[in-house]
A = this chain, B = another copy of it.
Amino acid sequence: MPRAVAGPEIERLIQLLGRLPGLGPRSARRAALALVKKKDLLLVPLAGAMTVAAERIVTCSVCGNVDTSDPCIICTDPTRDGRTIVVVEDVSDLWALERAAAINARYHVLGGTLSPLDGVGPEDLTIDQLVARCAGGDVSEVIIAVNATVDGQATAHVITDRLAGLPVKVSRLAHGVPVGGELDYLDEGTLSAAIRARTPF
C-alpha cells in the first residue's frame, strides 16, 4: 500500500491470512476486514482456537495423522480393525476417507509421493515406518489408497516391493466410473479400467 491506512497490526494480519491456501491478497484483505468487524463473534474465538491448536496439536508418531494426542484418536480407537492399514499420501486424504466412512481401519500417512524431479525419495516418506508396523505381525492387510496419478502409482509400486516377503496382503483402490459420473466426460484410461474390472450385474 502506498500509505498506511491502519496500524501495522492489520497489515500483518492481512499478510499472514494471504499465506493460507485459497486466499489471495484481495480475499485476505476481505477476510481481515470481516475478522476486525466481527471481533467478538469471529476474531476472538478464532484467535483462541488457533492458540489452542498451536499449543496442543501434534503429529501422531504411529500413523502421521494430526491430533491433540499421540498416538492419535484413530490409532487408539479399540473399535477399529487394527489388522488393516490404509496408506494415504496426506492427512487430507485420511479425512476424506473418514468423511466417506469408507472403512473402519487404521491409517498410515506417507507425507507425499515419490517425485524424483522434486527430489522426493523414499527416505522423505514414512515408508520405513510402514514396513516396521507391518513387520510387527499384527497387520494382515495394507490397502494402498494413494492418488491415481503417475507419482502416486509409482509410490504404490515401491511400497508393494518393500512389503514383499512380509505376511501381509497388499491391495489398492479400484479404478472405475465415479458414482454419479457420466461416461461422456470420463477419460479413456478410466473407461478402459472400468471395462476390464467389470462386475457381474
Contact = CB atoms under 8 A, between A and B. Distances in A.
Contact of A52 (B1, B9, B69): B9
B72 A9 contact: no
A55 B43 CA distance: 10
Which of A7, A98, A101 gathers the greatest number of chain B CB atoms within 10 Å?
A: A7
Q: How many copies does the complex hold?
A: 2
A46 B57 contact: no
A34 B50 contact: no
B92 A53 contact: no
Interface string A68-98: 1100111000000000000000111011001
Q: Which 10 A-B pairs have the closest CB atoms?
A: A47-B50, A7-B68, A22-B27, A2-B101, A5-B98, A20-B31, A6-B67, A16-B46, A47-B51, A43-B54
